[in-house]
Amino acid sequence: MSCSDLAERLELVLGEQLRDNELTALKAHVEGCEKCRDLLQACRGKQTLEQADSLVGEVLARTSGSTCSRVRSMLCDHVDQSLHEDNAALVQEHLNYCSSCTQLARVLEESAVALPQMASLDPGPLFTSSVLAATRSSQPPDKWALFLSHLSLVFQRPHFSLEAAYVGALLVFLVFGGAPVSAVGGVASAAFAGFQLNFAKVVRDTPAGLSDTWTDLYGSCENQLEGKIKATQGAVGRALETLQGSAEQLRAMSDEHLLKHAAALFQDATEKYEEYSRNLGSTEGSEDRPEETAE
Amino acid sequence: MGADERAVGSQLNLDAVLDRCRCGDELAWESLVRSYQSRVYGLAYHYVANREDARDLAQDIFVKVYKNLRKCPDANHFLPWIFRIARNASIDHLRRKRARPPSSQVSEMEVNSIADCSSDPEKHWLMEARRGLFRRALRMLTRLNREMIILKEIQGLTLEEMTGILDVPIGTLKSRSHRARLELAEKVLALSQGQEGAGL
- DSSP codes of every residue in B134-154: HHHHHHTS-HHHHHHIIIIII
Check: pTM over 0.90? Answer yes or no. no
A257 occurs within a structural domain:
no
Write out the residue range of the structural domain in which residue A27 sits: 1-46
- Give, as one character, the DSSP assignment of residue A1: -
Dump pLDDT digits (tens) for B124-165: 888 888 888 999 999 999 999 999 999 999 999 999 999 989
Q: Are the CB atoms for A68 and A98 separated by under 8 Å?
A: yes
On whether residue A109 sits in a domain, the answer given is yes
Q: Are A215 and A174 within one domain?
A: yes
If asked whether residues B141 and B196 sit together in one domain, one would say yes
Residues B166 and B81 in one domain: no
CATH number, domain of B65, equals 1.10.1740.10
CA nearest to B71 within chain A = A140
Query: Among A99-108, A194-203, B55-64, which is the least confidently predicted range?
Result: A194-203
Is pLDDT of B83 > 90?
Answer: yes
CA distance B98 to chain A (A): 24
Same domain, A38 and A80: no
Q: Domain containing B195: what range?
A: 118-200
Same domain, B195 and B130: yes
Same-domain check for residues A93 and A156: no
Does A196 map to a domain? yes
What is the pLDDT confidence band of residue A249, given thresholds at 50, 70 and 90? Answer: confident
A178 and A108, same domain (yes or no): no
Closest A-chain CA to B111:
A121
B113 lies in a domain? no
In a domain, A22, yes or no: yes
**Mean pLDDT across A98-124:** 91
Please say if the pLDDT value at position B1 is more than 50: no
Same domain, A186 and A227: yes
pLDDT tens-digit readout, A17-46 = 778 888 888 888 888 887 777 777 776 766
Please indicate, yes or no, if residue A133 is contained in any of the structural domains.
no
Residue A78 lies in a domain: yes
Mean pLDDT within A110-115: 92
The percent helix, strand, coil of chain B (3-state, each to 5) is 80, 0, 20
State yes or no: pLDDT of B9 exceeds 50: no
In this structure, are A191 and A218 located in the same domain?
A: yes
Q: Do B62 and B131 fall into the same domain?
A: no
Q: CATH number, domain at B191?
A: 1.10.10.10
- Kindly tell me if the per-residue pLDDT of A183 is higher than 60: no
* Range with lowest mean pLDDT among B102-106, B112-116, B148-152: B102-106
Of B73, B102, B131, which residue constitutes the final position of a domain?
Answer: B102
Residues B69 and B128 in one domain: no
B176 class by beta-carbon count within 10 Å (0-12 exposed, 13-18 middle, 19+ buried): buried
| Residue B93 scores a pLDDT above 70 | yes
Number of folded domains in chain A? 3
ipTM of the prediction: 0.81
Domain count, chain B: 2
Residues A241 and A165 placed together within one structural domain of the fold: yes
Whether A234 maps to a domain, the answer reads yes
**Closest CB from B42, B45, B185 relative to A111:** B185
Q: Report the C-alpha gap between B182 and A111 in whole angstroms.
A: 10
SS3 of residue A19 by DSSP: coil
Residue of B34, B67, B177 with shortest CB distance to A128: B34
Give the separation between CA B141 and CA B163, rounded to whole angstroms.
19
Q: pLDDT at residue A205 above 80?
A: no
How close does chain B come to A158, measured CA to CA in Å? 26
